[in-house]
Amino acid sequence: MKTALIFGSSGLVGNHLFDYIFNDNYYQKIKLFVRSNINIKDSKVEIIYDDFKNLDNLKNTIIGDDCFFCIGTTKKDTPNKKEYRRVEYDIPVNIARIAKKNSINSFFYISSIGANSSVSNSYLRNKGQVEDELVKLNFTKLAILRPSLLLGNRKSFRLGERIAQLIMTKISIIFTGKIKKFKPIKATDVAKAIINITKNNYKIKFFESDKLLELSKKWKALI
């Protein structure tokens, strides 16, 4: 019996990912790690409630085959620097360490285009530092997803992001050749690409937006 673990199933990508996994017979069990109540009642789904303040509480539940980490925040939503660092770096790294210790085979991480542990931008630096730590853990399969601007409707309204979506969608035609990886991508396409990656052995660990879009177009044939 194959088990998927999803962190961040209420987010823009995580929500679609859960829907696709739920309706796919590839996994017989899904564990959702959430902070607030969700109304899902199905024998296929196990819901684990936690505030992620003490990850030791999850050591006996982070058990399965493939772990999908889709949690993220913004400085607007999390203005406290210490808390922002905890959400963006501490939580994903420590969950990955527990997953590795518990012999989970595959780890999928939603990063960002431009992620780099050496840059000054704190968002991209945190993402890059998480990537560096994940590579060190040497999972059997590691997929680090680096989408460009995500397109879709979030549960929480972000004015700046919505404006960026409108502008980038209008000029997306210019993103060709070497800069095509900067083209905005639908959250649904990222989720579809993840489904593709779970079922194939790609030699690469890093998936930029253009590659994710390419893989998303093949997902239906894999269901």
At 63-100, the pLDDT tens digits run: 999 999 999 888 888 899 999 999 999 999 999 999 99
Domain ranges of the chain: 3-222
User: Longest Cα pair distance anywhere in the chain, in angstroms?
Assistant: 49
Q: How confident is the model at residue 157 (pLDDT cuts 50, 70, 90)?
A: very low
Top-level class of domain 3-222: alpha beta
**Average pLDDT, integer, range 165-177:** 52
Q: What does the pLDDT look like over 5-35, one tens digit per residue?
A: 999 998 899 999 999 999 988 999 999 999 8
Return the percentage of the chain with pLDDT > 70, whole number.
84
Distance CA 138, CA 122 (A): 25
Contact (CB, 8 A) for 31 and 6: yes
Output the pLDDT for position 177.
56
pLDDT score of 36 more than 80: yes
Q: What does the pLDDT look like over 182-191, one tens digit per residue?
A: 678 999 999 9
**Average pLDDT, integer, range 118-137:** 96
pLDDT score of 204 more than 70: yes
| Assessment of whether the complete model's pTM goes beyond 0.85 | yes
Distance CA 23, CA 12 (A): 18
Tokens of residue 122, six digits: 């704190």
Output the pLDDT for position 48.
96
Distance CA 206, CA 128 (A): 12
Helix (H, G, I), strand (E, B), or coil: what is residue 137? Answer: helix
